[in-house]
Amino acid sequence: MKYEQLAKDVIKNVGGKENVNSLTHCITRLRFKLKDESKANTDVLKNMDGVVTVVQSGGQYQVVIGNHVPEVYAEVAAIGGFQAAAETPVKEKQGLLNAFIDMISGVFSPTLGVLAATGMIKGFAAMFLALGWLTSTSGTYQILSAIGDCLFYFFPIFLGYTSAKKFNANIFIGMAIGATLVYPTFSSLTASGKPLYTLFSGTTFESPVYLTFLGIPVILMSYSSSVIPIIVSTYVGSKIEAGFKKIIPSVVRTFLVPFCTLLVTVPLALIVIGPVSTWAGQLLGAATVFLYNLSPLVAGALLGGFWQVFVIFGLHWGLVPVAINNLTVLGYDPVLATVMGASFAQTGVVLAILLKTKNVKLKSLSVPAFISGIFGVTEPAIYGITLPRKKPFILSCIVAAVGGAIIGGMGSRGYMIGGLGVFAIPSYIGPNGMDTGFYGMLIGMFGCLVLGFLVMLFAGFKDDEIKTENQNNGIGKSESLVKQETVASPVKGSVVALCDVTDEAFSTGAMGKGIAVEPAEGKVYSPVDGVLTNVFPTGHAIGITSDNGVEVLIHVGKDTVKLKGKHFTPMKKQGEHVKKGDLLLEFDMDAIRGEGFVLTTPVIVTNSGNYLDVIETEKQSVNFKEDLLTVVI
């Protein structure tokens, strides 16, 4: 129960358990799918002791905890009951990129811990063999190899489980589909059997046929370690299962739904989905290697330099299936190899900050961040130290680009999914032992560590660059990953949700995100420091651009433009620079209402698409100058 209070506070500030669709976690983050992200108290969470920061990306609300996230996750899941709730997620609209990232993270993230662990064991076995400490015939080596190979060899079964959970299907149906794909009899047929005939002879897709199903030829593939076939098959199976659930009576649904689903899905997987997905995977592998081979040095520099940016926004998930597919199809992967220097560049920068800083708080943050970085977990370093100070983060990206170019230029390749940081080293020992690519990886990794340290040491930084104070508990805390600008209420009155405004131009969000206020007094004050970019001649609306570039529209009433300026008295002119709280406009509420107009006043961030989010106040009423909107920049 060590993290019980933290778990309760996190649940409360994500909007309560009723606001949570589902919850997963990765190495350092709690990954929430919220029904309404605007209900989360992002400011409170970011300043909470035990929380590093909050990231909203890839359709997920990510609370960065640090290395002890599994323990916190267990408490949050137990207190909120989210494990059960996750079985019936609420569907929501997402962009294609967000949907893809969400699907990939949901399918792969549960396996990554064990996948890394087995890969490390296999890597160390390869290293012991290369160093002559073990022989390939020794029992010790064979047992270590079996442990190392087991998960990846039977990967379709594990992915059948995680894919079924992600697609809201019966997890055992997903596992059964995966187990069928790696059924040993099929492998023995292709190894020693004589084909009945051959399809697509003389083409790239030439395929011997060893058996048929109801007279239909089955193209047997090697699905061990494969990724795409089982994910696609499970997705199709989830739709087939849902269809049978609708038509099969509930009294026999328990066994007839799996019975019918497997009878339809498995033959479909073996006859169509498996072969097509395998060919697609082979094309994907060939395409990535082709692009990489155009210039390994340039590809390495780009991937290495931007890797930490990808991690921040969760976009690195898009490369995980590519890498695993390359291992399956090609037996090696050059893509993720190029980014291995990034964590060491980040770690070297943190080490320099640790040695140079006189700030006790910063020094205390740097020690665990450095240790974590050595083992490949850099989120504490990124969010807690380098990114808020900008220059260290930028320098670490530049150094990572140099490391990526070295690794790419020397042809380094990964031969298994192994550990992170120093534990990843054995993963780059190839079938021929420690070759040029392996030594290139070592140079890239430790070169980034040294170069990052030296660059940061001589570039320097200000110890007091960031000093913000948690007003709730007085604990000093570094500035968070996400900057914010607060938009004050320009009018006094009752808060109205934007969707409840009768003017569809505002209620539909077409003009941007925001909120509305039902005025209690006929005055409008400036909500930000900025320039009056648009004072309408009729006086009913004012546009202001803050000093940070946030564009705010204040529109007094509905259709009040028809008054042609009557009852409105502007107090400032267009082009003037104003301060937050300056009086901008006065209007006669009684006279306007007397002419039949509604005075509900939307306050809109018209360029809200440029920002991560616009969070509305939860207050029922506001006074002049009180916080109304928070723009997450």
Enumerate the active-site residues.
26, 555
Q: Which residues, including other chains, have CB under 8 Å from residue 256's CB and lie 6 or more apart? A: 244, 248
Handedness of CA 498, 500, 501, 505 (dihedral sign): positive
Contact, 322 vs 299, CB < 8 A? no
CA dihedral 589→590→595→599, nearest 10 degrees, is: 30
What is the radius of gyration, based on Cα positions, of the chain?
29
In the chain, the N- to C-terminal Cα span, in Å, equals: 36
Measured in residues, the chain has a length of: 633
The bridge status of strand 523-525 relative to strand 513-519 is unpaired
Strand stretches in 128-280, DSSP E: 197-199, 207-209, 211-213, 216-218
Q: Which of 78, 22, 11, 18 is nearest to 45 (CA)?
A: 11
The residue written with tokens 């190495």 in the block is 27
Contact, 15 vs 40, CB < 8 A? yes
Tokens of 345: 């560049």
Distance CA 535, CA 619 (A): 28
Q: Which of 357, 333, 490 is nearest to 413 (CA)?
A: 333
User: Any alpha helices (H) in 269-295, and if so which ranges?
Assistant: 274-294
Distance CA 181, CA 234 (A): 12
Residue 174 in 3-state DSSP? helix
Contact, 487 vs 631, CB < 8 A? yes
Q: Which helix (H) or strand (E) holds 63?
A: strand 60-64
Distance CA 10, CA 19 (A): 12
Q: What distances in angstroms separate CA 417 from CA 204, 436, 621, one per listed residue? A: 29, 20, 54
Contact, 515 vs 627, CB < 8 A? no
DSSP state at residue 193 = P
Distance CA 28, CA 62 (A): 10
